[in-house]
């Protein structure tokens, strides 16, 4: 190999390694220690707690979790009038020291096995399936499993009370209205497409998928 080629190859290798380091930077073990504070509301297995209005987080994608934590830290989420649970979570997100802490805790939570929160609403899962497949499945996946490529979170296993409340937050503009919330804005447009009964039916369909 000519010296020039060797230099070029090493440069490519160095940039590949540098890229790899950024991707591998998240440290779930460090994240586990940080999660201790979060467990008070989200539960030791990140299974969520309806009484605290805290959603299940287990099994959610790391990319989505980290984005929401940044949104809470930057005032993109949790600052709208009337968003008391969001404000509560924003205060918690600000206790994470820096971007590494956010990445680490997100990586830890994403590594936990998904949970099945108890159903709290009764709806028509068959009708909900129809609504879901025509209006939600393209982004969130046909079983509500989420799709990182479209920035759409996992919906199965979130818990129906939280799911319904967030959907209504988008509908009322409590979430998704901040000028920097580009992904929330997409979802806000979609939230106009279900009425209350249809939303309950969709929640019932998603409950049936998480059992
Ligand atoms: C005092 C209770 C409390 C604590 C402690 C807490 N949270 Fe939360 N968290 C909430 C509530 C309430 C919500 C729902 C906010 C809303 O309605 O928008 C939430 C929402 C979230 C969300 C958004 C989930 C989604 O599906 O969009 C993430 C991510 C999150 N919390 C992570 C954490 C992490 C990580 C910690 C620990 C550093 C933590 N939380 C500590 C109460 C808490
Ligand atoms: C065009 C793609 C798209 C479609 C279609 C769509 N969503 Fe979303 N949805 C998103 C994105 C992107 C987010 C994440 C927003 C963010 O990052 O804050 C989201 C977030 C959500 C959330 C918040 C989840 C959480 O953990 O807080 C709920 C609930 C939700 N969508 C329900 C639905 C339902 C129900 C439908 C069908 C009526 C639907 N979505 C259709 C893209 C979509």
Ligand nearest to the CA of 66: 1
Does the beta carbon of 152 lie inside 6 Å of ligand 2?
yes
Does the beta carbon of 135 lie inside 6 Å of ligand 2?
yes
pLDDT classification of 18: cutoffs 50, 70, 90: very low
pLDDT classification of 23: cutoffs 50, 70, 90: very low
| Residue with CA at minimum distance from ligand 1 atom 29 | 65
Q: Looking at the chain, which residues constitute the CATH 1.10.760.10 domain(s)?
A: 25-112, 121-211
Query: Is it the case that residue 105 has pLDDT exceeding 50?
Result: yes
What is the position in ligand 2's atom list of the atom closest to the CA of 175? 18
- How many Cβ atoms from other residues are within 10 Å of residue 83's Cβ? 17
Does the beta carbon of 183 lie inside 6 Å of ligand 2?
yes
**pLDDT for the residue numbered 3:** 53
- How far CA 112 is from CA of 44, 59, 101, 133, 149, in Å, comes to 10, 6, 17, 27, 21
Does the beta carbon of 52 lie inside 6 Å of ligand 2?
no
The span from the CA of 157 to the CA of 113, in Å, is: 11
Superfamily of domain 25-112: Cytochrome c-like domain (1.10.760.10)
Alpha carbon 46 to its chain centroid, in Å, reads: 13
Does the beta carbon of 139 lie inside 6 Å of ligand 2?
yes
- How far CA 123 is from CA of 88, 154, 185, 196, in Å, comes to 30, 20, 27, 11
- How far CA 27 is from CA of 82, 90, 140, in Å, comes to 35, 23, 27
Judge contact between 157 and 56, C-beta under 8 A: yes
Q: What percent of the chain has pLDDT over 90?
A: 86
If you measure from the C-alpha of residue 189 to the centroid of ligand 1, how many angstroms do you get, rounded to a whole number? 24
End-to-end Cα distance, the chain: 59
pTM, two decimals, is 0.91
What is the position in ligand 1's atom list of the atom closest to the CA of 68? 29
Quick one: CATH architecture of 121-211? Orthogonal Bundle (1.10)
């Amino acid at each position: 190999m000519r010296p020039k080629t060797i230099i070029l190859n090493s440069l490519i290798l160095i940039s590949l390694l540098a890229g790899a380091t950024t991707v591998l930077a998240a440290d779930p073990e460090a994240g586990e220690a940080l999660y201790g504070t979060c467990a008070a509301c989200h539960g030791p297995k990140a299974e969520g707690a309806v009484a605290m209005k805290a959603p299940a987080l287990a099994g959610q994608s790391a990319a989505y979790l980290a984005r929401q934590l940044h949104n809470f830290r930057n005032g993109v989420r949790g600052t709208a009038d009337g968003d008391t649970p969001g404000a509560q979570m924003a205060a918690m997100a600000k206790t994470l020291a820096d971007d590494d802490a956010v990445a680490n805790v997100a990586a830890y939570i994403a590594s936990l096995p998904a949970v099945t929160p108890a159903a709290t609403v009764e709806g028509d899962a068959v009708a909900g399936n129809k609504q879901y497949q025509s209006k939600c499945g393209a982004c969130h996946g046909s079983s509500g499993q989420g799709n990182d490529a479209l920035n759409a979170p996992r919906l199965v296993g979130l818990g129906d009370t939280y799911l319904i409340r967030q959907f209504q937050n988008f509908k009322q503009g409590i979430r998704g209205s901040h000028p920097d919330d580009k992904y929330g804005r997409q979802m806000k447009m979609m939230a106009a497409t279900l009425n209350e009964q249809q939303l309950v039916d969709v929640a019932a369909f998603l409950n049936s998928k998480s059992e």
